[in-house]
């Protein structure tokens, strides 16, 4: 194989073992490639040394105790809350927005439960029936599209800004998108679960509010 200096970066990036052999041969007669190859390898060797780590004899005991305590207290399905916990250290404004969303979600849930008790004798109050489900899905779809339009409007503002605030907004939106994706996946598996739908609505509302905040900065 005829390897030249121009092949070097390609081989560093995704070369085959044969490419590497060819590069080694070429480096024997090329000082620049020889230097680069040595530097490239030294990086790997130095990185390999970073892998040596001292023991922490008490760590497993600590973890085991924590696992037992968690088992005893009952594991909670908190994949959503784990993410939201990270916002505990956010600014008061964001915490207020999050609290508002939770209050809103609770209000919707309360209203729905009350309405369900009054108007339904059906014991499966939490399950949406298919015509209602269609309505919900249609509304959700329209709402989602509206938020996507908002997201498109806010995109340049988010991408171009380098401030810590913009970075925080970007991260928050990533967390919200992740939560929305997971909720949608769960709702897809269990489409009649009204509780999931309400959580999804709360996440969409939070995303909408966040995007509006981003656009506010622009103004």
Partner 1 sequence: MGCGGLTLPWGTRISTVEGGGDSRVASSEGQGQQGPGGAGNPDDVAIAALCLAGDLEGYERLYRWQGTRMKNLARHLLGTQSDAEDAVQETFLKVQRNMASFRGQSSFVTWTFRILVNTCHDLRRSRVRRKEHAHGESDALPPSLEPRAAVAHPALRLALERAMVRLTRHQRDVFLLYEVEGFRHSEIAGMLEITEAASKNTLFQAKKNLRSMLEPPTSKAREAGR
Pair of tokens at residue 37 = 């190859």
Q: Footprint of partner 1 on residues 48-77 (CB under 8 A)? A: 48-56, 59-60, 62-64, 66-68, 70-71, 75-77
Query: Min. distance of Cβ 42 from partner 1 in angstroms?
Result: 6
Q: What is the spatial distance between Cα 101 and Cα 205, in angstroms, rounded to a whole number?
A: 7
Q: Footprint of partner 1 on residues 13-42 (CB under 8 A)? A: 13-17, 20, 35-36, 38-42
Q: In terms of CB distance, is 62 or 134 closer to partner 1?
A: 62
Q: What is the spatial distance between Cα 210 and Cα 171, in angstroms, rounded to a whole number?
A: 11
Q: What is the spatial distance between Cα 109 and Cα 103, in angstroms, rounded to a whole number?
A: 10
Question: DSSP secondary-structure letter at 57?
Answer: T
The count of other CB atoms within 10 Å of the CB of residue 26 is 20
Pair of tokens at residue 33 = 């490639």
Q: Footprint of partner 1 on residues 144-163 (CB under 8 A)? A: none
Query: Min. distance of Cβ 204 from partner 1 in angstroms?
Result: 22
Contacting positions for partner 1 (CB under 8 A): 9, 12-17, 20, 35-36, 38-56, 59-60, 62-64, 66-68, 70-71, 75-79, 82, 86, 88-90, 164, 167, 171
């Amino acid at each position: 194989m005829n390897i030249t200096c121009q092949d070097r970066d390609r081989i560093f990036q995704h070369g085959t073992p044969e490419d590497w052999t060819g590069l080694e041969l070429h480096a024997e007669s090329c000082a620049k490639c020889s230097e680069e190859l040595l530097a490239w390898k030294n990086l790997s060797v130095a990185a390999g040394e970073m892998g040596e780590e001292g023991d922490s004899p008490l760590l497993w005991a600590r973890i085991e105790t924590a696992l037992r305590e968690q088992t005893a207290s009952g594991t909670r399905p908190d994949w959503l809350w784990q993410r939201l916990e990270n916002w505990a250290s956010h600014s008061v404004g964001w915490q207020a927005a999050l609290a508002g969303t939770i209050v809103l979600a609770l209000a919707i849930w309360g209203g729905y439960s009350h309405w369900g008790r009054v108007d339904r004798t059906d014991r499966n109050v939490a399950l949406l029936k298919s015509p209602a489900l269609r309505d919900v899905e249609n509304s959700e779809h329209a709402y989602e599209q509206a938020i996507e339009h908002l997201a498109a409007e806010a995109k340049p503002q988010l991408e171009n800004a380098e401030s810590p605030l913009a970075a925080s907004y970007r991260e928050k939106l990533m967390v919200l998108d992740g939560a929305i994706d997971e909720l949608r996946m769960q709702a897809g598996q269990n489409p009649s679960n009204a509780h999931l739908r309400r959580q999804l609505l709360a996440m969409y509302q939070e995303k909408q509010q966040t995007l509006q905040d981003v656009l506010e900065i622009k103004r």
